[in-house]
């Protein structure tokens, strides 16, 4: 059997290459196996039949479906097509299935869950070069520093028998993208020459497969020349070309954020998501908990999602962060041509043309968009949209598996609920102020919640407002109940960098929850910091949180603090300031040039607070803020929390205003 054939050899686990470096410039080319074999067509077919009958792995290959093609399990080598133009779905469906179980859990017992990482060992036959390159891109995303267990498991159990393109798809522009031929990443690469088949070995696993199930001669120079000729011939058969080199796509996009093409095309968009679903380089996903009908157990599933769908950025409170059709439409192109290239070094389009083929209004073709931009004189204010460099932390636990935790204390606050939580393994959470955790309530799902307690101690604290299913259920839990925790996630505040600085805290509403973590840290180590001023506003006097702690601030002579309410109605007595948070700013003394402001509050608050701080002469880089988005995976994979190209869950949620002010989707 093939037990020894572990396939780590040519799966790269790369760190992100330097900015703007493209795949074909990557250093350290992997070991290349250049053996080429030749076999008759009959021998090829019997080789495939032997794979089907004798190999332990499932064999899938390209087959006809009406006039189209799909990858499907093969029963017979005769069903295999090597002259297909393109398959409806790319082979990503075998590595990131349309729907997969991530874990099963019990709903009756406290915390009983089991991760599911099923990988059917599989041989995929007929994969075109562009799809292979797309899989190499997926490898970079999913097998980076903290690999996705399920993806990794599948990837390591997959052998790829690629095939040269014999029929060029009508809408493909792979020749322009340099993706119509490939020199590595496969286990075997077949070229169907009609009467004979040339097979190139790309890995020891591929070599072993050949030697085990067939005997093929070395290909002669003439055979190899025929392969080269075929590739050259096909290269000029493309009907679609992109006039601008893919390395220039990012620059073109930087110049054209406001181009009219986005609005014009998006008006025709059905918002059906087809372009992203059929794309081999779109791999955003959603996660959902479902209970079985008897409510005894349930399953957490991962499904494909897409940024063209409106609810992609919807959060529990009902807010949709990428609200306009135009913004959603634009985002897809920027992700492909700008954001992923900058992050990973590859242009996330391989020119397969599937999106163009599937889009009913025919507005999804990247070739059309980039040619339009290239040929247009319209240029706007350049938007560079650089991604802040953040060192990815080592995750202790598997990426998608929550750690069991126990609720130690519950307190009802104004409209919120306070929780003190302990991890069942007894370890401290190890967070810094400003980070968040993903809280699992099995059957209800996962929600990102800011950590409210300062670092240190064996427990940590969360404050939850009831907005969606997870938080609704959470607010009914009692001391002793079990939940799941992933994290700490996100960057948090640079606490070391704040040492010695004068600090002005400005919190609005629930913004006090994450800010409390930093305030209490600063108050615990008061001597490490300069002047401390705290401004805190709530809608109504009843809505102030942490009253006991606030009361203790009154006793401290080493801080200045002021409160305000938007309005004061009913029977609550309030002698303090009435007015929005910005009305407090003129009431405190601080040197704008020598003070760092930490601002956290509802989206609308940022605009006005920043305006006023800047009005007083505060430099942009002195303003820190924490932003909220739909943080779903928490590890920069699922795509939901993006502000343009930034993952809020990874490069945020804490941002320096100077760093993020140029991002149209930020504020």
Partner 1 sequence: MKPRVAFFDFASCEGCQLQVVNLEESILDLISVVDVVSFREAMKEHSDEYDVAFIEGSITRPIDEERLKKIRGNAKLLVALGACACIGGVQGMSNEWSPEENKKEVYGDLPGYEHTGDDNPFFEKPIHKAVNEVVKVDAYIPGCPIDRNEFAKIATAVLMGKTPKLPNYPVCVECKKNENICVFELGEFCLGPVTRAGCNAICPQYKSGCEGCRGFLDDPQTNAHKEVLEKYDVSVEEMLKRYNMFNFRKEGY
Q: Which residues bind partner 1 (CB under 8 A)?
A: 65-68, 70, 88-89, 93, 98-99, 267-274, 277-278, 290-296, 303-304, 306, 309-311, 358, 360-361, 443-444, 468-469, 472-473
Q: Are 18 and 346 in contact (CB under 8 A)?
A: no
Residue with tokens 């460099």: 389
And the tokens for 91? Answer: 């082979």
And the tokens for 383? Answer: 């938007």
CB of 462 to partner 1, least distance (A): 20
CB of 299 to partner 1, least distance (A): 11
Give one DSSP letter per residue of 288-341, joined into a string. Answer: EEEE-TTSSEEEEEEEE--TTSGGGGB-TTS-BSS-SHHHHHHHHHHIIIIIHH
**Helix count and strand count (H, E) for the chain:** 19, 27
Q: Are 439 and 484 in contact (CB under 8 A)?
A: yes
Sheet holding 297-304, edge to edge: 113-115, 99-106, 297-304, 285-291
Handedness of CA 275, 279, 281, 284 (dihedral sign): positive
By beta-carbon proximity to partner 1, the closer residue of 269 and 432 is 269
By beta-carbon proximity to partner 1, the closer residue of 361 and 603 is 361
CB of 246 to partner 1, least distance (A): 25
Crossing angle (nearest 10°) for helices 129-142 and 149-156 = 140
CB of 461 to partner 1, least distance (A): 25
By beta-carbon proximity to partner 1, the closer residue of 319 and 543 is 319
By beta-carbon proximity to partner 1, the closer residue of 276 and 626 is 276
Sheet holding 436-441, edge to edge: 445-450, 436-441, 482-489, 403-412, 416-423, 459-465
CA atoms of 614 and 542, how far apart (whole Å): 31
By beta-carbon proximity to partner 1, the closer residue of 147 and 468 is 468
DSSP assigned state of 94: G
By beta-carbon proximity to partner 1, the closer residue of 264 and 425 is 264
CB of 80 to partner 1, least distance (A): 17
By beta-carbon proximity to partner 1, the closer residue of 429 and 470 is 470
Closest CA to 324 of 339, 314, 310: 310
CA atoms of 150 and 100, how far apart (whole Å): 9
By beta-carbon proximity to partner 1, the closer residue of 306 and 402 is 306
Beta strands at 416-423 and 436-441: parallel, antiparallel or unpaired: unpaired
By beta-carbon proximity to partner 1, the closer residue of 65 and 526 is 65
And the tokens for 429? Answer: 């959470």
CA atoms of 498 and 380, how far apart (whole Å): 37
Q: How many residues does the chain have?
A: 667
By beta-carbon proximity to partner 1, the closer residue of 172 and 582 is 172
- Identify the burial level of 360 via C-beta atoms within 10 angstroms of its C-beta, where 0-12 means exposed, 13-18 middle and 19 or more buried: exposed
By beta-carbon proximity to partner 1, the closer residue of 242 and 355 is 355
Q: Assign 3-state DSSP to the chain and report helix, strand, coil percentages, each to 5.
A: 30, 25, 45
């Amino acid at each position: 059997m093939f037990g020894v054939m572990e396939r780590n050899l040519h799966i790269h686990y790369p760190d992100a290459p330097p900015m703007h470096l493209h795949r074909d410039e990557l250093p350290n080319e992997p070991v290349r196996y250049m053996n080429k074999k030749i076999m008759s067509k009959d021998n090829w077919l019997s080789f495939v039949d032997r794979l089907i009958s004798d190999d332990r792995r499932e064999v899938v290959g390209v087959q006809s479906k009406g006039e189209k093609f799909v990858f499907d399990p093969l029963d017979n080598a005769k069903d295999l097509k090597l002259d297909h133009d393109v398959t409806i779905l790319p082979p990503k469906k075998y590595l990131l299935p349309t729907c997969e179980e991530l874990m099963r859990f019990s709903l009756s017992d406290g915390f009983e869950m089991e991760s599911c990482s099923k990988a059917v060992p599989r041989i995929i036959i007929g994969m075109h070069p562009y799809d292979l390159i797309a899989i190499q891109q997926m490898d970079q995303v999913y097998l980076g520093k903290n690999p996705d267990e399920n993806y990794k498991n599948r990837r390591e159990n997959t052998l790829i028998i690629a095939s040269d393109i014999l029929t060029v798809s009508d809408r493909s522009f792979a020749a322009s993208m340099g993706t119509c031929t490939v020199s590595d990443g496969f286990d075997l690469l077949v070229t169907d020459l009609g009467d004979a088949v040339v097979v190139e070995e790309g890995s020891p696993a591929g070599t072993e497969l050949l030697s085990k199930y067939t005997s093929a001669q070395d290909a002669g120079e003439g055979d190899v020349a025929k392969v080269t000729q075929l590739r050259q011939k096909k290269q000029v058969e493309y009907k679609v070309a992109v006039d601008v080199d893919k390395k220039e796509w990012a620059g073109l996009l930087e110049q054209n954020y406001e181009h009219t093409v986005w609005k014009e095309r998006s008006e025709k968009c059905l918002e059906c998501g087809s372009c992203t679903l059929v794309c081999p380089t779109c791999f955003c996903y959603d996660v959902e908990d479902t209970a079985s009908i008897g409510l005894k157990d349930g399953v957490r599933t991962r499904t494909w999602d897409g940024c063209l769908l409106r609810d992609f950025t919807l959060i529990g409170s009902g807010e949709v962060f990428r609200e306009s059709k135009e913004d959603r439409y634009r985002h897809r192109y920027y992700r492909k041509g700008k954001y992923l290239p900058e992050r990973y070094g590859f242009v996330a389009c391989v020119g397969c043309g599937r999106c163009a083929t599937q889009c009913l209004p025919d507005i999804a073709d990247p070739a059309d968009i980039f040619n339009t931009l290239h040929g247009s004189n319209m240029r706007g204010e350049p938007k560079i949209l650089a991604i802040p460099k953040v060192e990815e932390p080592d995750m202790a636990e598997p990426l998608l598996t929550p750690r069991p935790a126990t609720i130690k204390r519950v307190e009802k606050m104004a409209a919120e609920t306070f929780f003190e939580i302990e991890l069942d393994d007894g370890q401290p959470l190890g967070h810094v102020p400003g980070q968040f955790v993903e809280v699992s309530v099995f059957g209800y799902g996962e929600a990102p919640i800011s950590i409210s307690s300062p670092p240190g101690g064996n427990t940590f604290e969360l404050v939850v407002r009831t907005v969606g299913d997870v938080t609704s259920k959470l607010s009914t839990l009692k001391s002793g109940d079990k939940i799941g925790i992933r994290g700490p996630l996100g960057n948090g505040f640079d606490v070391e960098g704040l040492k010695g600085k004068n600090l002005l805290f400005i919190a609005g509403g629930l913004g006090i929850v994450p800010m409390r973590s930093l305030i209490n840290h600063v108050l615990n180590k008061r001597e490490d910091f300069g002047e401390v001023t705290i401004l805190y506003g709530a809608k109504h006097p009843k809505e102030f949180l942490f009253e006991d702690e606030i009361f203790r601030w009154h006793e401290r002579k080493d801080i200045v603090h002021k409160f305000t309410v938007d309005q004061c109605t009913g029977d609550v007595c309030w002698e303090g300031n009435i007015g929005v948070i910005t009305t407090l700013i003129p009431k405190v003394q601080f040197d704008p040039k020598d003070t760092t402001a930490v601002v956290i509050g509802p989206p609308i608050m940022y605009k006005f607070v920043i305006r006023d701080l800047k009005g007083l002469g505060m430099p942009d880089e002195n303003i820190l803020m924490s932003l909220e988005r739909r943080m779903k995976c928490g590890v920069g994979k699922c795509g939901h929390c993006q502000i343009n190209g930034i993952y809020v869950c990874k490069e945020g949620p804490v941002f320096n205003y100077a760093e993020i002010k140029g991002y149209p989707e930020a504020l």
